[in-house]
């Protein structure tokens, strides 16, 4: 039995579904009304993350992916500026004993280019990789533990973030995220 939480349910009700029977990965929706709350969600994900976690960040331009990464890094203790790695594809942050690799593959025209930047070197047992636009690197990336899908809400300023656990590590992480998230 796996716990799933459905849309709009984060604070209201918890649906318990037998996801394995339905061949669904466990997921949860988080209504994120502003950038501060988006950074907070990033911090909650950081607290739940484990070494070698791979987190895909999917959503349209301006959906809030980098904002979430800023919160993730800040909560681990990084105090510097977090640049969006749109042009150089990635930034690496050494924070105490942790190494966080932040990719933005939006400008990648051919996923094979990832071979030339030595992409496999970044997927280590220690590193945590956060990847914006992972669909542009299809076939050359490590599978995700968590997939975060960012959606605009029609007529509103906030975003909905759906977090899907796609591995056993991801399921442990999602459980912790659900326990800690209070926005
Ligand atoms: N939950 C939110 N509600 C309203 N605005 C938000 C929210 N989260 C982030 N924003 C704002 O949206 C804008 C774009 O955010 P951000 O740069 O993080 O998007 P992105 O998904 O990384 O875009 P890109 O695909 O271009 O890299 C920023 O001005 C940010 O402050
Ligand atoms: Mg971005």
Q: How far away, in angstroms, is 67 Cα from ligand 1 center?
A: 6
Of 153, 146, 177, the C-alpha closest to 25 is 146
Of 175, 112, 101, 105, the C-alpha closest to 139 is 112
Name residues contacting ligand 1 (CB within 6 A).
Answer: 32, 34-35, 37-38, 59, 61-67, 84, 104, 106, 132, 157-159
Distance CA 11, CA 5 (A): 10
Q: What is the reported pLDDT for 59?
A: 98
Give the helix/strand (H/E) hosting 168: helix 168-180
State the CB neighbour count (10 A cutoff) for residue 21: 9
Q: What is the reported pLDDT for 22?
A: 60
Distance CA 26, CA 14 (A): 12
pLDDT at 15 over 80: no
pTM over 0.85: yes
Question: Mutation test of ligand 1: which of 35, 41, 61, 161 has the most ligand atoms closer than 8 Å to its C-beta?
Answer: 35
Q: Where are the domains of the chain?
A: 2-180
pLDDT in tens, 22-76: 658 999 999 999 999 999 999 999 999 999 999 999 999 999 999 999 999 999 9
pLDDT at 77 over 70: yes
For domain 2-180, which architecture applies? 3-Layer(aba) Sandwich (3.40)
């Amino acid at each position: 039995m796996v716990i799933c939480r459905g849309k709009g349910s984060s604070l209201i009700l918890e649906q318990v579904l037998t996801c394995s029977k339905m061949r669904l990965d466990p997921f949860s929706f988080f209504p994120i009304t502003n950038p501060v709350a988006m950074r907070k969600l990033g911090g909650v994900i950081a607290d739940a993350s484990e070494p070698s976690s791979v987190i895909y960040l999917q959503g349209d331009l301006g959906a809030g992916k980098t904002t979430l990464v800023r919160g993730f890094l800040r909560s681990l203790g990084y105090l510097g500026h977090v640049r969006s790695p749109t042009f150089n594809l990635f930034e690496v942050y050494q924070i105490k004993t942790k190494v966080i690799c932040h990719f933005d593959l939006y400008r990648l025209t051919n996923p094979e280019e990832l071979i030339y930047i030595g992409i496999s070197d970044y997927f280590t047992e220690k590193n945590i990789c956060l990847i914006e636009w992972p669909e542009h690197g299809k076939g050359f990336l490590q599978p995700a533990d968590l997939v975060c899908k960012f959606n605009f809400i029609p007529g509103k300023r906030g975003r909905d973030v759906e977090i899907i656990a796609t591995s056993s590590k991801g399921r442990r992480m999602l459980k912790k995220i659900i326990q800690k998230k209070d926005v």
